[in-house]
A and B are shown apart, each in its own frame.
Chain A
Amino acid sequence: MTALAGLIRKEIFHIIRDRRTLVVIIAMPIVQVILFGYAIRTDVDHVRLAIVDPSPDPVTLAIRSHFDAAGVFETVAVLPDSAKLETLFRRGDAQGAVVFESQFAERAVHNGPAQLLVVADATEPNTGSIVAAYASQVVQDYEQTELASGRRVAIVPDVRMRFNPTRESSNLFVPGLMAFVLTIISSLMTAISLTREKETGTLEALLVSPLRPWQIITGKVAPYIAVGFVSVIGVLAEARLVFNVPLRGSVALLLVEGLLFILVSLSLGILISARTSSQRVAMMGALIGTMLPTLLLSGFIFPIESMPSPLRAISYLVPARWFVLIARGVMLKGVGIVYLWQPTLALAAMAVVLLAASTHAFHERLDT
C-alpha cells in the first residue's frame, strides 16, 4: 500500500467512524432540499388581493368570482377607487390588486376593449408571477366561457409588477443548495478535520514524516471530494424526483464545474485551518468566511441584482456566486460551456490562486 493510499484510507475511517458528523453530512442536504423546496414553493396560497371596482356590474362580478374560485386568492379589500391601493401595497396588506375601469361591462361588451389592470407585489417574485399568471388566466377563461355562450367580450389585461419589475425568480433553489452543501462539506469539514489534527498533534507526526505537503493535503481532501460528489448527486436526484426540477444541460459539465467549485472550497478550508489552531475557531472561520457568503451573497436566496452596490462588488469574490450562475445555466437553461466560459474562468482562476495560497500556507505553517 502506498503512503498516499494509506492516508486516504485513514481519512475515510475518520469520516465513517464519526457517525454523528456523517449523519449530518448525509442527512443535511436531503432535509434542506425538502425545507427549501417547500419554503419556496411555486404554488402560492393565500395571496392577499385587493379589488378596485368603481362600478360593479355583472361582468366585474363574474371576473371577481373567477378569482375567488381559483382558491389561491383571498380578497382583503374591495375599493371604489385606487386611492388607498398604494397604502395597502406598502403595508403589505395586499400582494396583488385587480383594478377594473369604470363602466367595465359597458366597454367590454359594446365599445371595448375594457382595461383590466393587474398589479402584483414582486418583492416576493413567486407571488408576483403567480398573481400575474392567474389574472391573465382568469380573464382568458372568462372570455372563453362568454364566447362559448355566444357573447363576445373584449378585455385587455395589463400587468404591472411593483417594486421588482424584472421578476428575478428564486424558484431556482437547487443550484444554490448544491453550492451550500459543497461549501459545508469542502470548506467546513476540511477546516475542522485539519484543525483537529493540529490540536491532537497528529499533524506534526505527518509533517516530520517523509510525506510531501501535497500528499498530506491530497490524502486529507480526496475523501471529502468523494463525499461532496455523492451529496451533489443526491441533491440532484432528490430535486428531480421530488420537485421535478429540470436538468436540461449536460450532467458531465455540471459535475466538472462542481469539481472546480469543490477545489475552491477545499482550498478555502485549508487556508482557514492554516490560520487557526482550534476546531472551534476553525468552525467560526468557515461559517463566516464561506458559509454565510454562500448563503447570502451568491444569489442563492437574495437576488444579486437587488443588492446594494458594495455587496454586489463583494459578491464577485464569492465562489458560490459563479457556481450558482453556472449550475442555473446548465440545469434550467440547458446552456453549455460556450455560454458559461466567463463564470467558469472566474472559478478556475479562484481555484488556481487559492490552491497555491493554501499549499503555501501549509508550507509556511512549518515556520510558525
Chain B
Amino acid sequence: MTARLTPGAPQPAPAIRARDLTRRFGSFVAVDHLTFDVGAGEVFGFLGANGAGKTTAIRMLTGLLAPSGGTATVAGHDVLAEAERVKRAIGYMSQRFSLYEDLTVRENITLYGGIYDLRDREIRERTDRMLARLGLERQADDMVRAIPLGWRQKLAFSVALLHEPRIVFLDEPTSGVDPITRRQFWELIYEAAAAGTTVLVTTHYMDEAEYCDRISIMVSGMIGALGTPGELKREFGVPSIDDLFVRLARPS
C-alpha cells in the first residue's frame, strides 16, 4: 500500500503533532490547549500578534521549554520523554541571530557541523555547497559581523539545515529584513520544503502567510483559525489574511 502524498494534506504520520499542549507562567496561560498536526514536507505558518504564544509554542516543540500540560511529538518522538531524539531531528533558527559574529562564516558552519556530529569531510562538502548556493564563497573567511544582515539571516537558515533535519523551526526569521531579502528567504524555505523538510515558521507579516501551505492564527494562546490561506479566506469571508487577522485579534 502506498500513500499518495499531496502537499498540504494531513498525513498518517505527522511531522509535528500537538495535543492540548499548554504552558502556564504562574497564573498566566501563554499557550492554552494547543492541538494541531503538521504534515511531513509542509510549510506551516504560525501567525499571531506579539504575545499570542507563538514563541512559547515553538520553545515547547523544540525542547527549550517544558510543557505544563498536554503532549507533543516531533518527528515521531515525544518532546518531553525523548528530547534527545527530537533535538537530532530538528533545526532551529530564532528571531534573534544564532551565528557567532566574531567567528568567520566557515568557522560558524564548522562549529555547528561538529555540534551535530557531522564528519569533517561531510562538513567540508556541505560548506562548499552551501556557500556556492548562497553566493558567499568570497566571504567564507570573513567575520560574520562583516556581512550584511540579510546574508546573515540566509546563512543562519542554511546553518540550521546543515545537519539535514526532518523539521526546521523558524521563529520570526524575517523580522527586520528588507522586502527583497524576505522574498529570497522564502525561496530558500521553498527549496527546503521541496527537498522534503517540514517547515514551521512564525511571522507577523501577513503577506508571508500567503506563502504557507497552511496557517494557524494564534489569539491569546489559542488557535483562532487553522487551514490553508484560501480555505480561511472563504470560510471567514475576508479578502485577505490581514483582514482575517484583524478580525480575530479584535473580536466584536
Q: Do A10 and B117 form a contact, CB below 8 Å, given A201-B98, A202-B98, A210-B88?
A: no
**CB distance A210 to B116 under 8 Å?**
yes
**CB distance A10 to B64 under 8 Å?**
no
Interface 0/1 of A179-214, CB less than 8 Å to B: 000000000000000000000111011111111000
Which residues of chain A are near B114, meaning CB under 8 Å? 1-3, 5-7
Residue of B whose beta carbon sits closest to that of A4: B114
Q: Do A10 and B96 form a contact, CB below 8 Å, given A207-B64, A210-B117?
A: no
Which residues of chain B are near A305, meaning CB under 8 Å? none
Interface 0/1 of B42-65, CB less than 8 Å to A: 000000000000000000001111
**CB distance B65 to A367 under 8 Å?**
yes
A-B contacts at CB below 8 angstroms, number: 79
**CB distance A204 to B96 under 8 Å?**
yes
Q: How far is the CB of A160 from chain B (nearest CB, A)?
A: 61
Which residues of chain B are near A206, meaning CB under 8 Å? 115
For the residues of A in contact with B, the DSSP-based class is helix
Q: How far is the CB of B201 from chain A (nearest CB, A)?
A: 15
Q: How far is the CB of B28 from chain A (nearest CB, A)?
A: 13
For B95, B97, B101, B114, the residue with the greatest tally of chain A CB atoms inside 10 Å of its CB is B114
**CB distance B87 to A209 under 8 Å?**
yes
Roughly how many angstroms separate A208 CA and B95 CA in the complex, as a whole number?
14
Interface 0/1 of B89-112, CB less than 8 Å to A: 010111111111111000100111
Residue of A whose beta carbon sits closest to that of B101: A200
Residue of A whose beta carbon sits closest to that of B104: A13
Interface residues on A, range: 20 to 34
Is B5 located at the chain interface by the 8 A CB criterion? no
**CB distance A366 to B96 under 8 Å?**
no
Which residues of chain A are near B99, meaning CB under 8 Å? 202
Is B120 located at the chain interface by the 8 A CB criterion? yes
Interface 0/1 of A1-32, CB less than 8 Å to B: 11101110110011001100000000000000
Which residues of chain A are near B88, meaning CB under 8 Å? 210
Q: How far is the CB of B79 from chain A (nearest CB, A)?
A: 11
Instruction: Choose from B62, B65, B107, B117 the contact partner of A13 (Cβ within 8 Å).
Output: B107
Q: 9 A-B pairs, CB-CB below 8 angstroms? A: A1-B114, A9-B111, A201-B98, A202-B98, A205-B92, A208-B64, A208-B90, A210-B115, A367-B66
